[in-house]
């Protein structure tokens, strides 16, 4: 779904919605029951936050991140602090994607995520669904392909539409925020507005996605383009949760 991609990083952030488990052992039998009850109450509070994060489309707020760090159980406290620190830093910088690239975050999620499914009943992926890996043939420059230079700013794409055939779009990010190219071929008679309003469920025949690029970096998208109507958007959200394409970073063009 195209519009759903605007929040795909937020979906990954539901790893913050990890489960709460009992925190430690108590050798004092006289206080074990009280400790267990307190732990259960604390765990339920933690799971409530987990479900809240899982249900919302926006990125966690700074307040939610702080609350997450406070409620994280002892067993995952170390990993939780890594995630909270990096996502807080990225949120304050207005580049939430940077958090996923920070050292230790991926490893922290690998420890955190199993708790969520077991204790809070929150699944990150549908049963049988495999994580989609980037296709290197799409995200790499093909020297034999026609080259189209794309300028990305906050918030617009500038490019000259190519002719049909194998094409490498090379995006240079001249904006202050991170950007990505999501290119899709529209169904006959469809518009980019219709495709986005249906969250990509209707009006799209094919789609290709580049890597993201921060200020001054380049990203590449290579595809075999048939004649037709195409759309290109940046789905990355701002720090306030507004997708860049909603702020104007979308373009529709014809390929002959």
Mean pLDDT by runs of 10 across the 256 residues of the chain is 42 35 40 51 77 78 89 84 90 81 88 79 58 77 97 96 97 95 94 87 93 95 96 88 91 95
- Together in a domain, 145 and 251: yes
Examine the fold and report which residue of 91, 120, 149 is the final residue of a domain before the chain moves on: 120
Q: Is residue 231 part of a domain?
A: yes
Q: Is residue 186 part of a domain?
A: yes
The pTM of this model reads 0.67
- Together in a domain, 92 and 38: yes
- Together in a domain, 114 and 211: no
Query: How far from 170 is each of 60, 173, 183, 234, 250, CA to CA, in Å?
Result: 32, 10, 12, 14, 16
Q: Is residue 42 part of a domain?
A: yes
Examine the fold and report which residue of 59, 88, 120 is the final residue of a domain before the chain moves on: 120
What is the predicted pLDDT for the residue at 249? 96
Query: How far from 76 is each of 4, 121, 127, 235, CA to CA, in Å?
Result: 29, 17, 25, 31
- Together in a domain, 153 and 43: no
- Together in a domain, 36 and 78: yes
Q: What is the residue range of 228's domain?
A: 136-255
Q: Is residue 125 part of a domain?
A: no
Contact 81, 45 (CB under 8 A): no
Q: Based on the structure, what is the number of domains in the chain?
A: 2
3-state secondary structure the chain: CHHHHCCHHHHHHHHHCCCCCCCCCCCCHHHHHHHHHHHHHHHHHHHHHHHHHHHCCCCCCHHHHHHHHHHCCHHHHHHHHHHHHHHHHHHHHCCCHHHHHCCCHHHHHHHHHHHHHHHHCCCCCCCCCCCCCCCHHHHCCCCCCEEEEEEEECCEEECCCCCCEEEEEEEEECCCCCECCEEEEECCCCCHHHHHHCCCCCCEEEEEECCCECCCCEEEEEEEECCEEEEEECCCECCCCCEHHHHCCEEEEEEC
Q: Is residue 110 part of a domain?
A: yes
- Together in a domain, 215 and 159: yes
Q: For residue 206, what are its two tokens?
A: 């094919």
- Together in a domain, 61 and 140: no
- Together in a domain, 11 and 53: yes
Q: Is residue 127 part of a domain?
A: no
Give the CATH number for residue 222: 2.60.40.420
**Distance (Å, rounded) from C-alpha 124 to C-alpha 11?**
8
- Together in a domain, 103 and 165: no
Q: Is residue 129 part of a domain?
A: no
- Together in a domain, 64 and 152: no
What is the predicted pLDDT for the residue at 39? 55
**Distance (Å, rounded) from C-alpha 124 to C-alpha 120?**
12
Q: Is residue 64 part of a domain?
A: yes
**Distance (Å, rounded) from C-alpha 208 to C-alpha 134?**
10
Examine the fold and report which residue of 120, 146, 165 is the final residue of a domain before the chain moves on: 120
232: nearest Cα among 209, 202, 252? 252
Cross-strand partners of 176: none
- Together in a domain, 248 and 141: yes
- Together in a domain, 101 and 161: no
């Amino acid at each position: 779904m195209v519009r759903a991609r605007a929040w795909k990083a937020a979906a990954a952030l539901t790893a913050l919605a990890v489960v709460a488990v009992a925190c430690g052992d108590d050798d004092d039998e006289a206080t074990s029951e009280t400790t267990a009850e307190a732990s259960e109450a604390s765990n339920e509070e933690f799971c409530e936050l987990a479900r809240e994060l899982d249900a919302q489309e926006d990125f966690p707020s700074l307040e939610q991140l702080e609350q997450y760090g406070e409620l994280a159980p002892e067993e995952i406290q170390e990993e939780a602090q890594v995630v909270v620190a990096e996502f807080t830093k990225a949120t304050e910088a207005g580049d939430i994607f940077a958090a996923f690239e920070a050292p230790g975050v991926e490893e922290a999620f690998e420890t955190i995520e199993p708790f969520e499914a077991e204790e809070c009943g929150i699944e990150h992926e549908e049963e049988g669904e495999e994580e989609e890996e980037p296709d290197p043939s799409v995200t790499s420059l093909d020297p034999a392909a026609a080259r189209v230079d794309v300028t990305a700013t906050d918030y617009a794409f500038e490019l000259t539409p190519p002719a049909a055939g194998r094409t490498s779009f090379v995006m240079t990010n001249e904006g202050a925020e991170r950007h990505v190219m999501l290119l899709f071929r529209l169904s006959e008679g469809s518009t980019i507005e219709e495709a986005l309003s249906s969250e990509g469920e209707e009006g799209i025949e094919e789609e290709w996605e580049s890597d993201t690029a921060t200020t001054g970096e380049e990203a590449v998208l290579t595809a075999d383009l048939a004649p037709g109507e195409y759309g290109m958007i940046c789905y990355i959200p701002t720090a306030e949760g507004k997708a860049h394409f909603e702020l104007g970073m979308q373009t529709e063009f014809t390929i002959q």
